[in-house]
Amino acid sequence: MRETIDKAYAWFSAAMAVLLLAGTLIVILLATASFLRETAAVVMASGTGVTYEDLQQLFALLLGAIIALELAHSVHLMVKGSKGYEQVRVVLMIGILAVVRKLIVMEIDQVSGLLIFGLSAAVLALGCAFAMLLWVDWTRTSSEKG
């Protein structure tokens, strides 16, 4: 009985992951189209100069598309059945990109110092976790070669 439940859950999980992947691909296409449309509008309208607000908007759209792409990669790993190290790395990368996107998009004069401190702490924590993951990968690779 337990084996049947495990197989049913594995099938259900894989089917949902495929549906999530399809939805994520649509989001990636929409985010990319939005970025390209905004880039074309800025190029056509700017003539000689691009404002800081235009660049801020372009980077926000670009990072949104990249985050969606990383999320699709994470769901793809789930569909393949990969677990552990690879998924942790992708989730950390998504977190880093999301915080960086927030830092780029926010208006510095309209936020509190506490929010900036919190985002800085998040960047530091995510960066340290990512560095530890790279160190683990490096030591594993070194011991396999050694």
Instruction: Say whether pLDDT at 146 is over 70.
Output: no
Q: What percent of the chain has pLDDT over 70?
A: 97
Tokens of 7: 């197989």
Identify the residue with better confidence: 43 or 81. 43
According to the model, what pLDDT value does residue 52 have?
Answer: 83
Query: Is 0.85 surpassed by the pTM of this model?
Result: no
Distance in angstroms (rounded) separating the CA atoms of residues 114 and 46: 36
Identify the residue with better confidence: 3 or 146. 3
The backbone torsions φ and ψ at residue 35, rounded to the nearest 5 degrees and listed phi first, read -60, -45
On average, the pLDDT of the chain sits at 87
Instruction: Say whether pLDDT at 145 is over 70.
Output: yes
Contact at 8 Å (CB) between 119 and 102? yes
Distance in angstroms (rounded) separating the CA atoms of residues 47 and 32: 23
According to the model, what pLDDT value does residue 10 have?
Answer: 83
Distance in angstroms (rounded) separating the CA atoms of residues 87 and 67: 14
pLDDT tens-place string over residues 73-117: 888 887 777 777 778 888 898 899 889 888 888 888 888 989 989
Distance in angstroms (rounded) separating the CA atoms of residues 124 and 140: 24
Across the range 64-70, mean pLDDT stands at: 88
* DSSP annotation string for 68-103: HHHHHHHHHHHHHT--SHHHHHHHHHHHHHHHHHHH
Angle, to 10 degrees, between the axis of helix 85-105 and the axis of helix 113-145? 150
Across the range 14-25, mean pLDDT stands at: 88
